[in-house]
Amino acid sequence: MSVAGKKYFVIGSLEKGINVIELLADHESLSVSEVAAHLDINRSAAHRFLATLRELGWAEKDDDGKYRLTFRVLEQAMKVADRFEIRRMARPFMQRLAGLTDETVNLGYWDGQGIVHLDKIDSRNILRMDSRIGSHAPAYCTALGKAILAFLPKEDIAAYMAVAEFEATGPNTITEPTAFEAELAKVRENGVAIDDEEMAPGLRCVAAPVFDYTDYPRYALSVSGPAMRMKRGVIAKIEGDLKAACAGLSGLLGKPDGRRP
């Protein structure tokens, strides 16, 4: 479990903490003394590592005084796994949208603060949107972000609004919280969000949310392109196909029937 060769950049305490997590993953539960013996560290150090993991919610202590990992490990692992699985599941829907629109199609993931671009299919046009997979974008000025924010639980929206910094990044960026809340209400009513040159000049985008098996809007699909091509009438024609794609993908993810649009 230790790092061979001890590179100069290796943080020893972090390495030992990960070793403790891996050790607990291999056993149902272990005492402080057992952890110390397995990892050849003193009992005091073992106790500090375990106490820290417990404080952070990664470990719990049972009635026998032994430590075991919590479901937080599984929760974090599933987040990573879902990001890769969702790309495979979303691809057919994205390919269909790309074929119908001949514009760039994007898959976004809500990480609790903003949008992570997980995948895209580029337009065949020379002039097109060029988002980088893995890049992070603000939620308030993107169609992907607004599509997800609008359908989050009220407490999640309130938490976001409390810390969001509405800075203008395009000519039409919504920078007033009250106006932004009205925009989210419109998104909830229409089922789609539009970025009308809010993220960047000359760019328009339309997005709809994708719900998981808990009915949570964890992802969104969007179609984006230059404003000169993505005119209002064009966006209106795209909306139906976009909603259908998101509904189909939500169904594959196990979204409960008869609930959110």
pLDDT tens-place string over residues 93-118? 999 999 999 999 999 999 988 999 99
Report the pLDDT value the prediction gives residue 2, as an integer from 0 to 100.
Answer: 44
Task: Say if residue 223 is in the same domain as residue 174.
Answer: yes
Task: Say if residue 128 is in the same domain as residue 16.
Answer: no
- Which position has the token pair 């580029």? 122
CATH of the domain at 30: 1.10.10.10
Task: Say if residue 48 is in the same domain as residue 153.
Answer: no
**Residue 61 pLDDT exceeds 60:** yes
Domain interval for residue 151: 78-252
Nearest to 221 by CA among 113, 84, 81, 92: 92
Task: Say if residue 28 is in the same domain as residue 51.
Answer: yes
Nearest to 183 by CA among 146, 231, 145: 146
Confidence band, pLDDT 50/70/90 cuts, at residue 3: very low
Report the pLDDT value the prediction gives residue 49, as an integer from 0 to 100.
Answer: 96
Confidence band, pLDDT 50/70/90 cuts, at residue 6: low
**Residue 20 pLDDT exceeds 80:** yes
Domain final residue, candidates 51, 70, 89:
70
**Residue 81 pLDDT exceeds 90:** no
Neighbours of 100 (CB within 10 A): 16
Indicate whether 259 belongs to any domain.
Answer: no
Mean pLDDT of the chain: 91
Indicate whether 244 belongs to any domain.
Answer: yes
Domain final residue, candidates 22, 39, 70:
70
Task: Say if residue 86 is in the same domain as residue 59.
Answer: no
Report the pLDDT value the prediction gives residue 1, as an integer from 0 to 100.
Answer: 45
Report the pLDDT value the prediction gives residue 74, as an integer from 0 to 100.
Answer: 79
Task: Say if residue 143 is in the same domain as residue 28.
Answer: no
CATH of the domain at 166: 3.30.450.40
Q: Which two structure tokens, joined as six digits, stand for 9?
A: 């950049």
Selected residue with higher pLDDT from 84 and 39: 39
Distance CA 178, CA 189 (A): 17
Task: Say if residue 146 is in the same domain as residue 47.
Answer: no
Task: Say if residue 20 is in the same domain as residue 46.
Answer: yes
Domain final residue, candidates 70, 93, 108:
70
Report the pLDDT value the prediction gives residue 261, as an integer from 0 to 100.
Answer: 53
Average pLDDT over residues 135-149: 95
Task: Say if residue 139 is in the same domain as residue 168.
Answer: yes
Indicate whether 146 belongs to any domain.
Answer: yes
Average pLDDT over residues 38-60: 95
Confidence band, pLDDT 50/70/90 cuts, at residue 5: low
Indicate whether 21 belongs to any domain.
Answer: yes
Report the pLDDT value the prediction gives residue 67, as an integer from 0 to 100.
Answer: 96
Is the Cα torsion angle 256, 118, 147, 152 positive or negative in sign?
Answer: positive
Amino acid, single-letter form, for residue 193: A
Indicate whether 109 belongs to any domain.
Answer: yes
Domain count across the chain: 2
